[in-house]
Chains A and B, each alone.
Chain A
Amino acid sequence: MELLPVLNYLAFFLVFAGIFAVMALGLNLQWGFCGLFNVGVAGFVAVGAYASALLTGPPEPERFGGFGLPVAVGWLGAMGFSGLAALVVGLAALRLREDYLAITTFGIAVVIQLVALNAQALTGGPFGIQSIPKPFADALGTGLGWNLAYLGLVLAVLGLAWWALERLVASPWGRVLRAIREDELAAASLGKRASAFRLQSFVIGCMLMGLAGAMYAHFVGYIAPEDFLPVLTFQIWAMLIVGGSGRNAGAVLGAVLVWAIWSAAGTLIREALPAAEQARGAALQVVLIGVLIAAILVLRPRGVLGERATVSRHAG
């Protein structure tokens, strides 16, 4: 077996795992630390991906944008727009009880996906947006070197997000989030304005999802509405549950594990099934992850890692 394709695939695999890990970290901040049931992950990822694609892409006469801005601006813009979307949704929906928040976020994600599909002048419609610039591609080409460089970038972002979140959840701010997750009424009776903290947690989590969406867009080079279907939300939830919600390490580990199983299952289905059955066979991936979640919930209800007793780092 040649080394180069293996290395290339490994880089490809890890870039995706890293991008999913950033999304899972965002969800962990919302669900794992604050108990917010966000089932609209794909929608906020889409906002980030489209925002960065439009900000950085070459001008396109057929639709709004490309503004040809640097990729870094695109990524910051992705966080800004997904954060803004989360702020609007959060202001409206975080007043609602848990189950209503779930329905609302799910609905929002579907709406965002439908807008992406139909607002042709803004999003390119079903064909999506092509030729999204790949950072450093001028210098590195688009081969293994570029894949590795992008992997480095993704890991740097992941590391930064990890460091920031670890610091935050071990701060008094994170302590309030955990208290709200445990018992919102009791937290309010101790002087904590729950709605403000829930909103902050929701917006910051969604900004990470948007950033991950932008990283996805610039790695693949094109995006289309079908990249942001509810199955993406399902995948991220699976990662968090399998890895262990309430722990950042759990979110990252879950992202790698679930993405590995998802990819392996996909390869297996492609190899094993005749061409005519492949589309239906792909549904087996979802089934497999569903079975995995069920197994984890039975065997290790708190995920592979589970929550460690987090104590404020000053209290340790």
Chain B
Amino acid sequence: MSRVLVAEGVTKGFGGPPVVDGVSFALARGTITGLIGPNGAGKTTLFNLIAASLAPDRGSITLDGARIDGLRPDEVFARGLARTFQIPRPFPAMTVLENVMLAPQGQPGERFWANWLSPGAVAAEERRNRGRALEWLDFVGLAKLAGQPASVLSGGQRKLLELARVLVAEPKLILLDEPGAGVAPPLLAIIMEKIAALNARGITFLVIEHNMDLVMTLCRPVMVLAQGRLLLEGSPEEVKRDPRVVEAYLG
């Protein structure tokens, strides 16, 4: 299996001891990898490093063989690496549909002059874009709310909107930061089902999650992060049995 993402010796500190300390791992294409660990282990910081919201102090991150550390977040997204946030960040005053229509890359209408010089091409692209956005909204079950401002969505719906928003850009790798946190059980089942369906279509996932049901059901393999270091990687069963994991959680 080829490797989509490779991290080598990634280290990041904020003045004190490193929050992420020499982390190395590789994501195999087509997998759903779980990333678990106690609070403060550095999971979200690791996400921010991969998605280029932060630059690592040391180490390298490559996506399909090309270095992505040191790029801007928008450049990383343009290369097919998308992320969602632990606390969803929809654009509240924009409609659900517009939230999704924003995400596709290389839209001609985003260039100032194209709107004046080739309005026909812009309009045609917008029609296609709208169609695709509605398809993905339908996929996550939010099509009925397409015309509503995103501010009306519940916490779980916001997570689904974030998912639709990155899906429309057709990424190859998606980082999900706690897709199950604060989501009502029926919606959680839907979210899990959607992740599995997308994975079946070939999208690779890296998932931070505390909900062990979700981790045990979806994630192969699971990586455990504790105090900024990668403790172990294995199947959910192996991880569950390993005494070091229990120790890390109980301190």
Contact = CB atoms under 8 A, between A and B. Distances in A.
Interface string B31-57: 000000000000000000001010000
B123 A314 contact: yes
Given A189-B53, A190-B169, A172 B126 contact: yes
A31 to B, nearest CB: 14
Contacts of A168: 112, 115
A227 interface: no
B67 interface: no
- The bracket for how many chain A residues form the interface is 20 to 34
Contacts, number: 108
Interface string B85-127: 1000111111101100111010111111001000000110111
B101 A190 contact: no
Contact of B77 (A189, A246, A311): A189
A173 B112 contact: yes
Interface residues of B, number: 42
Contacts of A312: 98, 101, 126
A285 interface: no
B83 interface: yes
Interface in A130-180: 167-168, 171-173, 175-176, 178-179
A232 B57 CA distance: 47
B226 interface: no
B142 interface: no
Contacts of A111: none
B130 interface: yes
A186 B89 contact: yes
Interface in A298-316: 307, 309, 311-312, 314-315
Contacts of A309: 93, 95, 149
A182 B149 CA distance: 12
Given A179-B94, A186-B91, 8 more contacts: A172-B125, A178-B94, A178-B98, A182-B94, A183-B91, A185-B73, A185-B89, A314-B127
Closest 9 pairs (CB-CB, A-B): A314-B126, A172-B109, A191-B77, A182-B91, A186-B89, A188-B73, A171-B115, A190-B103, A191-B74
